[in-house]
Amino acid sequence: MKIKNRRFIFPWMMATIASLAAANATAAESIVTGPESGTLYTFGQDIKDYAAPDLRVLPSNGSVSNIKALSKQRGVSLGIVQADAYDAYVHLMTSDPDPETRKWASDIVSSLRVIMPLFDQEIYFIVRKDDPMRFIHEIENKRIYMDVEGSGSNLSAKSIYVKMFGHAPKRVMPYIEKNVTGDGDIIKYRKSALWRLNHPNEGPAERQVDVVIIAGGQPMPIIQKLGEDYKLLTIDVTNDKTQKLMTDYQVGSALKSNYAFLPTDTPVLTNKTYLITVNFKDQARNASINKVVDGICKNFQTLLEKGHPKWKTIPWSPLKKELPPLASGWVYSADAKNILENCTVGGQGGGYAPSAVCTNEDKAIGLCQ
């Protein structure tokens, strides 16, 4: 086909090529996080704002989706995930009936690398205040809202339930109540489930909820807004079913200073979160990841001062250089480990814990409050 008006077409083509090149350049430094109202997204934004200005921060449904994005979404080089997300892909690798899926999951599992551990994420089991349940081991056969598929809340909730009881839960699927507002569907789903929890006699039977499970680093705005009609289920670490969780999860505290509806600091399950990447063959891409890691090293004090309060709980700092052991299956990125363990600038972090009269484990078995 004969091309006419070259003087008009050529600049357009050049602009298109330039925009594609720019997109590819920035896409090499993208991080997948979580819902925009959640802690994972805030951490990604903090890294961009205070350590890596070229980083693109992408919201997502959560941990399982983030690992998939690292494998399949062009330009995604970093992600924030919960430690128990690893088990979901191991299950695909070993148990999925489709050989192609097993191979894909195996490739992901073998290439995942941890850059650094971040914060411990609290897992909240929310019920009505007048519910006779007190502990998480009492939720068997209850109707449970577990967030959307692919989210960290959904993954942890299903994993915890199956580990305790050995069978699938009665799950209430996400829905949006009329007149519920919020930034994005995930927030609307959560608000709808919490509303329904407190209105047990209204609406269709398939929307009735006994327990709402949400995972996220405190303080979580949606839980801060809960009133005195709600309560959190707590932990009895002496219970046999709860003991089954203790190799994969830890006991922490939901703090009354963060959540006014709590009568006191309340023991809750926690799950570790990691900043991760994959073992890319493209050295230029690895260099861009290392630049982000170096930015975290050099600007760690600013992250502590201006970022989310959970930055103060990270078990690494330039003054406490050694990175801690990881949950089973996870492996550090050799480049990131070298950068962080030889970091000589920044500020002091790690070692933070809320003051308490006794340990969380003591609280969990009722020795003190």
pLDDT band for 35, please (50, 70, 90 cuts): confident
Amino acid at 264: T
Specify whether the CB–CB gap between 241 and 160 falls below 8 A.
no
> DSSP characters for 208-254?
--SEEEEEEPSSPHHHHT--TTEEE-B--TTSHHHHTTTTT-EEEEE
> Which range is least confidently modeled, 32-41, 107-116, 238-247, 266-275?
32-41
At how many degrees (to 10) do helices 85-95 and 63-72 cross?
60
Specify whether the CB–CB gap between 251 and 87 falls below 8 A.
no
User: What's CA 24's distance to the chain center, in Å?
Assistant: 26
pLDDT at res. 13? 36
Question: Is the fold of 28-119+273-341 the same as that of 121-271+354-364?
Answer: yes
The answer, yes or no, to whether residue 17 has pLDDT greater than 60, is no
What is the CB neighbour count within 10 angstroms for residue 129? 12
Amino acid at 107: D
pLDDT at res. 360? 54
User: What's CA 28's distance to the chain center, in Å?
Assistant: 22
- Measure the CA–CA gap between 123 and 139, rounded to whole angstroms: 14
Specify whether the CB–CB gap between 105 and 59 falls below 8 A.
no
- Measure the CA–CA gap between 308 and 331, rounded to whole angstroms: 26
pLDDT at res. 36? 85
Domain covering 28-119+273-341 assigned CATH 3.40.190.10 in the classification:
yes
Three-state SS for 66?
helix
CATH architecture of the domain with range 121-271+354-364: 3-Layer(aba) Sandwich (3.40)
- Measure the CA–CA gap between 351 and 87, rounded to whole angstroms: 28
pLDDT band for 365, please (50, 70, 90 cuts): very low
**Mean pLDDT within 150-175:** 91
The answer, yes or no, to whether residue 5 has pLDDT greater than 80, is no
Annotated domain spans of the chain: 28-119+273-341, 121-271+354-364
pLDDT at res. 10? 40
- Measure the CA–CA gap between 361 and 316, rounded to whole angstroms: 23
Amino acid at 55: L
The answer, yes or no, to whether residue 12 has pLDDT greater than 80, is no
pLDDT digits over 56-96, tens only? 999 988 888 899 899 888 889 999 999 988 888 888 888 88
pLDDT digits over 309-361, tens only? 999 999 999 988 899 999 888 999 999 999 999 998 744 444 333 334 455 54
